[in-house]
Amino acid sequence: MDARDNGWDASALAWIADMGERGDYSREHVLDAPMMARIRGRRLKNALDIGGGEGRFCRMLKSEGIETTGIEPSAALREAAQSRDPSGRYLDARAEELPFEDRSFDLVVSYLTLIDIDGIEAAIAEMARVLKPRGSLLIANLNSFSTAGGWRTLDDGTSRYAMDRYLEERDEWVNWRGIAVRNWHRPMSRYMQLLLASGLRLVHFDEPAPIAGDPARMERYIRAPWLHIMEWQKD
């Protein structure tokens, strides 16, 4: 397991301030509603949130009556989650080596965390291992063309989406609003092959559009969908 510094300990306070209670734009206006739509009404008993950060989505799951465990290797983020939810269960663990028995959870969630995980092969195998039969792995992730590119302003003032080195798997440092963390770009085929090899079956895929927020930002999301949701089921 690769445990190199990924910037999350140093960025924890800035991240907590940026998330607040409602989350950032992508969470509040793009992902939360379709993620919860895959969860509600299914009588799920327990869930595992991979890399739960400051615990926002764990609290959302608990509000639906789901017994939720969050794992988070950053002590500052984990402590923030525990302080906001004193009765919650937040553990110091990494996705590559989950401290749970086989077939432990009805639901495993990876909410914008695959890009942070170094040992992706072990992590996806572990997520599948701890799922109960007919359990679901619910993933929100950046589209791979997003991690390989971004918007560029041309000399004439127009904006275009540029992408390069798509098939080259690599880690890169990204910075925004006082946060500096190491993320991974992987081609979509990399994720798909690992998920298929783990014995899971794809039952849902979506590239959700934003439902509110700044109109200019909504327009950019629509022109180049930045995010996707996948649900994989264990037969």
Provide the percentage of residues in the chain whose pLDDT is more than 90.
Answer: 93
- pLDDT, position 4: 74
pLDDT digits (tens, 9 = 90+) for 70-103: 999 999 999 999 999 999 999 999 999 999 999 9
Domains, the chain, ordered by start: 8-234 (3.40.50.150)
State the Cα–Cα distance between residues 55 and 86, nearest whole angstrom. Answer: 11
State the Cα–Cα distance between residues 38 and 35, nearest whole angstrom. Answer: 5
- pLDDT, position 71: 98
State the Cα–Cα distance between residues 139 and 43, nearest whole angstrom. Answer: 19
Average model confidence (pLDDT) across the chain: 95
Residue 2 in this model has a pLDDT that exceeds 60: no
State the Cα–Cα distance between residues 26 and 33, nearest whole angstrom. Answer: 11
